[in-house]
Structure formats: structure tokens, C-alpha cells
């Protein structure tokens, strides 16, 4: 089954990246302690927002368009890079501005500034991954991820052992992304994909016409996933931010499994809208069942093994993360359903409804996050995450039923 095969490849790729980043977090946390890890977490969380914004929503747009017309692959790559140079430059300036507006201490600002160099290589890696997913050549993603993430860990360990601190970790990430880019170019040549090294004004105009909503989706979703850390950074101590960040990383490792499965389903869903309405309804029921069972399994596995992971890899100073994990883990179920439903909305051209659902979710997260974290600090933010994820899933379900499923049943 092609969907299962691609799902496994994407999931293994995300697992590789997740395990790599988790091991990196453990290395940094153990080597530098909660305070330094807190600084690192704040910088990476703020960077992650602008990294997703710089992507311009091209992931959803490219998968939707290329899965329906593979001849657009080369144009998306060359013109996408042109857009990426502009977007990453703008996001770099916004990253610096935001760090200053939030009045962080100088040592945190310096780490944030340095993360800006990661934006362009991260964008080109992302664009390459997206094209391989749309073409359903997902095995190449795994090959790149294994080599790229291995180089990241090796360089990080080497630099940290030399006592170079947080800045050396950022440089290790940068070098590994350059390695990933070189590998993607090699695999493009291997599958004989013509990259078309020219700017197509008419193609760009068509893409730019669709980009605004997709950009807003990226902006809102990126803020949604990092707003908890940023809110906490202004309410609790840096050490507490570090504790929450470890819990968040363990829980959100599950998201990458779900992301892999749903992303493999996305081209199939998108293609079905140009073929059979009956097939769409069948996929809706089948994929919802699949993603629900997967998320339940991941939830139970995390509850079972999280204490062991903390004891073995992090030690007693991070045991306070365990009760936070036991709360946060319940956000996995509504998020998995929400992410899959958003693929149906985007596939049928209702991306504005996806944006509406994300906006509702973000607003609820901001309100509940600020209110509950002031009352119960990290625990309050964990509960706010569950509540906002449930609201997000509810909004996605209502909008998908109204604008996708009900119209299909009526025809």
C-alpha cells in the first residue's frame, strides 16, 4: 500500500529528526544545566516561529499542486528558493526586532541573533523535503535525515566537549543543514528531476496569489506551537522554562509520528478531490480511524516510558518534568485529529477555514495560557495546552463537516 509505505518513510524521517533533537536537548541540558538550557530553549522557540513563517506556507501549497501536476516540481524548487531568500531575510530582521522588543537579557539576545543564520539552509531543506513528499519519493527523506542528524549530533558533542557552549550548538545545526542540502541536490539528480534554474514570472504570480492565506496559516500555527514557552519565559524562572521545555519535547515527539502519517495521507487526499467524491468520504472515515488509533497508542507508550527516559537520560534535576508530561500528553489526541482534518480542508481549497480554526485555537491558547500559568505556572500552561488543542480540534471538525463532508453527501 503506497500510503502505508510513504507514511512509514515520513514517520521514520520525523522519528530520526525527533530523536536527534531530543538527544541534542539532553546533551545540552546535562552539559550546561537547567539555566543554560532555559536560555537555549527560549532562543530556539523564538527562532522556530520565524522559521515556520519564512516557509510561506509552501508545504501545503506545493503538496497540493505537485500531487495534481508533477511537472510543476522544478518550478516550485527554483522559484521557491527565490521566495525563500526574500522571506528568510525579512524573518531574520523580524527575529532581531522581536528579541529586542521582548527585552531579554543580553546573553539570550545573542543566542537568538545567531539562530538567524539557520533560516535560509533550513528553508531549502524544507522545500526539498516537500517536493519529495509531493512526488511520493519519501525514502530519500530518510536517507538525508540519517546522515544530516548524525552529523548534527557528532558536531554538537565535539564542540560541547571542547567547552564552546550554546553558540557551538547553533553552528553544529547550521553545518548539518548545509550537509542536508548537498544530499538533497544529489538525490534530485538521481531521480532525474529538472530543477529549471530560472524565475518564471507568471508562475510566481500564480503562487503569490495563493500564498497569503498559506503564510497566515504558517504564522498562526508556528505561534500556536511556541506561544507556551514564550508566555512562560515572562512569568516563571528560566529554570522552570527549561523543565517545561523538556516535558514539551518528550510529549511533542509523538506529534512527529502523527505528522508523518498525516503528511503521507495528504497527497492521496488532495488527488482524490479531482477523481472520486465517494473515495473522499471513504478516506475521511478510514484516515480518522487510523490517526485516532495511532494517537491512543502513542499516548499510552509515552505514559509508560516517560519516567524511565527521564531517569536514564536526564537525572533527578529534571524529575519535575514528569507530572507536566502526564498532563501535556493528553493534548496529543485532539491535535492528531485536528491536523488530519486540516488536510481535508486544504485539499478542497478551504484553507481559509483552516486558518479560522487555527485562529480560534491560538486565541484560546493565549487566554488560557496567560490566566492559568499565572495561577499554577508550568502546570497551568500544561492544562491550557489541552484545552486549546481540544478547542482547535472542535473547530476543525465543525468546519470540515460543514464545508467538505456535508456538501459531498448532498451531491
**What does the pLDDT read at residue 191?**
77
CA distance 23 to 18: 8
**Lowest model confidence (mean pLDDT) among 145-154, 322-331, 363-372:** 145-154
Task: Indicate the pTM of the whole model.
Answer: 0.69
* % of the chain beyond a pLDDT of 90: 28
CA distance 68 to 302: 37
Phi (first) and psi of residue 102, to 5 degrees: -85, 0
Q: How confident is the model at residue 351 (pLDDT cuts 50, 70, 90)?
A: confident
**What does the pLDDT read at residue 99?**
86
Q: Which residue has the higher pLDDT, 218 or 312?
A: 312
Q: Which residue has the higher pLDDT, 73 or 3?
A: 73
Is the model's pLDDT at 238 over the cut of 80?
yes
Is the model's pLDDT at 126 over the cut of 60?
yes
Phi-psi region of 199 (alpha: psi -120 to 50; beta: other; left: phi over 0): beta
Q: What is the pLDDT of residues 152-191, one digit of tens each?
A: 888 888 888 776 777 888 888 899 999 998 998 888 888 7
Angle, alpha carbons 390-382-261 (nearest 5°): 55
User: From residue 18, how far is each of 64, 190, 270, 282, 359 by CA, in Å?
Assistant: 25, 27, 27, 31, 27
Q: Which three cell numbers stand for residue 24?
A: 541534542
Q: What is the pLDDT of residues 326-345, one digit of tens each?
A: 999 999 999 999 999 998 99
Amino acid at each position: 500500500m503506497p500510503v502505508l509505505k510513504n507514511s512509514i518513510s515520513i514517520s521514520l524521517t520525523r522519528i530520526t529528526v525527533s530523536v536527534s533533537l531530543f538527544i541534542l536537548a539532553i546533551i545540552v541540558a546535562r552539559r550546561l544545566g537547567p539555566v543554560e538550557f532555559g536560555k537555549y530553549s527560549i532562543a530556539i522557540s523564538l527562532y522556530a516561529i520565524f522559521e515556520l513563517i519564512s516557509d510561506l506556507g509552501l508545504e501545503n501549497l506545493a503538496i497540493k499542486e505537485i500531487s495534481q501536476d508533477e511537472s510543476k516540481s522544478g518550478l516550485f524548487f527554483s522559484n521557491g528558493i527565490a521566495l525563500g531568500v526574500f522571506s528568510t531575510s525579512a524573518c531574520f530582521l523580524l527575529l532581531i526586532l522581536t528579541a529586542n522588543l521582548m527585552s531579554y537579557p543580553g546573553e539570550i539576545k545573542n543566542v537568538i541573533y545567531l539562530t538567524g543564520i539557520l533560516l535560509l539552509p533550513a528553508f531549502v531543506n524544507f522545500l526539498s523535503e516537500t517536493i519529495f513528499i509531493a512526488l511520493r519519493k519519501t525514502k530519500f527523506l530518510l536517507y538525508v535525515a540519517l546522515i544530516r542528524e548524525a552529523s548534527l549530533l557528532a558536531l554538537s558533542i565535539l564542540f560541547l566537549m571542547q567547552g564552546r557552549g550554546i553558540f557551538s550548538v547553533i553552528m553544529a545545526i547550521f553545518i548539518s543543514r548545509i550537509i542536508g542540502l548537498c544530499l538533497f541536490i544529489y538525490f534530485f539528480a538521481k531521480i532525474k528531476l529538472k530543477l529549471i534554474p530560472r524565475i518564471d514570472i507568471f508562475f510566481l504570480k500564480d503562487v503569490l496569489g495563493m500564498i497569503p492565506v498559506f503564510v497566515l496559516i504558517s504564522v498562526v500555527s508556528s505561534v500556536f506551537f511556541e506561544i507556551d514557552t514564550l508566555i512562560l519565559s515572562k512569568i516563571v524562572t528560566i529554570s522552570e522554562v527549561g523543565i517545561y521545555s523538556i516535558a514539551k519535547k518528550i510529549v511533542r515527539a509523538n506529534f512527529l509520528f502523527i505528522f508523518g502519517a498525516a503528511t503521507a495521507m495528504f497527497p492521496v487526499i488532495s488527488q482524490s478531490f479531482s477523481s472520486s467524491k465517494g473515495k473522499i468520504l471513504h478516506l475521511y472515515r478510514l484516515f480518522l480511524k487510523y490517526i485516532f488509533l495511532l494517537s491512543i497508542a502513542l499516548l499510552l507508550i509515552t505514559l509508560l516510558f516517560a519516567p524511565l527516559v527521564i531517569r536514564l537520560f536526564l537525572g533527578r534535576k529534571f524529575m519535575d518534568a514528569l507530572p507536566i508530561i502526564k498532563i501535556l500528553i493528553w493534548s496529543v489526541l485532539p491535535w492528531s485529529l485536528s491536523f488530519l482534518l486540516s488536510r481535508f480542508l486544504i485539499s478542497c481549497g478551504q484553507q481559509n477555514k483552516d486558518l479560522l480554526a487555527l485562529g480560534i485555537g491560538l486565541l484560546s491558547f493565549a487566554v488560557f495560557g496567560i490566566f492559568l500559568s499565572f495561577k499554577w505556572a508550568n502546570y497551568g500552561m500544561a492544562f491550557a495546552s489541552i484545552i486549546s488543542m481540544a478547542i482547535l480540534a472542535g473547530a476543525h471538525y465543525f468546519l470540515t463537516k460543514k464545508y467538505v463532508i456535508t456538501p459531498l453527501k448532498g451531491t
